[in-house]
Amino acid sequence: MLRRLLTIMLKEEKLDFKLGIIARPGAALANKTGSFRSEIPVFKLDKCTGCDLCIYYCPEGVVFGDKKTKKYSFDEDYCKGCGICAEECPAKDIDMILVEK
């Protein structure tokens, strides 16, 4: 099937159909995905500089915080426990801990 499609694409400059699927923005928020994670972030807030990198790097957009008070948290219903926030924290002020089930 793929070979046939490539042959068609090489012979024709235009296709009458579109390839691929595009999800609507915020599609992850339609489903609570946090139940399958094995770790959660713990914001220690001891050495936090308020840089907001944890917010910017979160692929799910579930880290929230206030730069002035330096208080950060996450939405447990949607956090997948990937650890990117902890990895990108320049102050290393976020720990990932195992979830007890």
Whether 36 maps to a domain, the answer reads yes
Whether 48 maps to a domain, the answer reads yes
CATH number at residue 86: 3.30.70.20
Write out the residue range of the structural domain in which residue 99 sits: 32-101
For residue range 42-100, what is the model confidence (pLDDT) as tens digits? Answer: 999 889 988 999 999 999 889 998 888 888 999 988 898 999 999 999 999 999 999 87
Mean of the pLDDT values across residues 26-36? 66
| Residue 101 · residue 39 · CB < 8 Å | no
Number of domains in the chain: 1
| Residue 33 · residue 80 · CB < 8 Å | yes
pLDDT at 24: 58
